[in-house]
Amino acid sequence: MTSVDFNFTEPIASFYDSVDAGMTTSPADIGSVKKSDFVVLNGRPFKVVEITHSKPGRHGPSKVHLVGIDIFTGRRHEDVRPVGHIIQVPKVDKKDYILVSIANDGYTTLLDEDTCQIRSDLSIQDSDTARRLRDKYEKGNGQINVTVLKALSEEQIVAFKVID
pLDDT tens string, the chain, 164 residues long: the values are: 444 444 444 444 444 444 444 568 999 999 899 999 999 999 999 999 999 998 888 878 899 999 999 999 899 999 999 988 999 999 999 999 999 999 988 899 999 999 999 999 998 877 788 889 999 999 888 899 999 999 999 999 989 999 87
In 3D space, the residue among 41, 32, 156, 48 whose CA is nearest the CA of residue 93 turns out to be 156
**Where is the domain boundary, 90, 105, 126?**
90
pTM of the model: 0.74
**Where is the domain boundary, 61, 90, 119?**
90
User: Within this chain, do residues 66 and 110 fall inside the same structural domain, yes or no?
Assistant: no
User: Which domain covers residue 77, as residue numbers?
Assistant: 25-90
Number of independent structural domains in the chain: 2
**Where is the domain boundary, 90, 125, 147?**
90
| Burial (CB count within 10 angstroms: exposed 0-12, middle 13-18, buried 19+), residue 9 | exposed
Listed in sequence order, the DSSP H helices in 4-151 are 128-139
- The whole-angstrom separation of Cα 144 and Cα 14 is 47
> Does residue 46 form part of some domain?
yes
